[in-house]
């Protein structure tokens, strides 16, 4: 799945963490129309391509080293780990919480999927520990391909670029043709 392409910088345009994740009302997160995952012996894999995940966050329902969570670093430096972002690099934890937060801390913030039973989480860290992180499209493309290779059925890409990438689009079309749902942000560019 190698594509030759131009390299652009993508960013998260992260905002300071608040009690209520941005956009929950807009995506109808409290809607009874959103079905819970069906019980199954297989896990349903969701992949977050972002700045990593603070696994110890009280609303994140995963434990480092468990079989239902895995991660990988992509071009971020030897000291940055997928499961150890510093405080200012919290965008990936925020995005994960918007999807999967359990609401255990006060004030209660519950994600769109508050029951993570049979949900396996993949974390592809493409942003480092900078205040305004950026990553090349070739890096985010490799991360998205990793998610697909790991069996993700949903890949979240909460970042943007002011330019269109033909090669990224080709990779995303290929993933879609394999039955992967790609969820992208609006307004991050």
Please give the chain's pLDDT, 189 residues, in tens: 555 556 767 766 544 444 455 566 666 666 665 555 556 668 999 999 999 999 988 889 999 999 999 999 999 888 889 998 887 778 899 899 888 988 877 666 778 887 788 899 999 999 988 767 789 999 999 999 999 999 999 999 988 888 899 999 999 999 999 999 999 876 655
In the chain, beta strands by DSSP E: 9-11, 44-50, 69-73, 119-125, 134-136, 154-157, 181-184
Question: What's the pTM?
Answer: 0.82
- Measured distance CA(40)–CA(25) in Å, rounded: 29
Give 38's Cβ-side CA count (13 Å radius).
Answer: 2
> How high is the pLDDT of residue 25?
65
- Cα separations in angstroms, 68 against 42, 44, 47, 120: 11, 10, 12, 5
**Burial grade of 143 (CB within 10 A; 0-12, 13-18, 19 or more):** buried
């Amino acid at each position: 799945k190698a594509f030759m392409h131009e390299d652009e910088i993508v960013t998260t345009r992260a905002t300071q963490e608040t009690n209520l994740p941005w956009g929950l009302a807009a995506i109808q997160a409290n809607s009874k129309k959103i079905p819970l995952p069906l019980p199954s012996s297989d896990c349903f894999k969701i992949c977050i391509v972002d700045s990593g995940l603070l696994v110890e966050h009280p609303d994140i329902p995963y434990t480092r080293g468990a079989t239902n969570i895995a991660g990988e670093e992509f071009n971020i430096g030897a000291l940055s780990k997928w499961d150890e972002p510093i405080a200012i690099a919290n965008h990936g934890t925020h995005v994960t919480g918007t999807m999967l937060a359990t609401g255990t801390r006060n004030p209660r913030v519950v994600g769109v999927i508050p029951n993570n039973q049979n949900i396996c989480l993949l974390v592809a860290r493409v942003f480092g520990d900078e205040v305004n992180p950026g990553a090349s499209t070739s890096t985010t493309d490799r991360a998205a391909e990793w998610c697909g290779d790991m069996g993700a059925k949903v890949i979240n890409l909460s970042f943007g670029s002011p330019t269109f990438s033909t090669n990224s689009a080709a990779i995303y079309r290929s993933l879609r043709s394999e039955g992967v749902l790609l969820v992208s942000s609006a307004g991050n560019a």
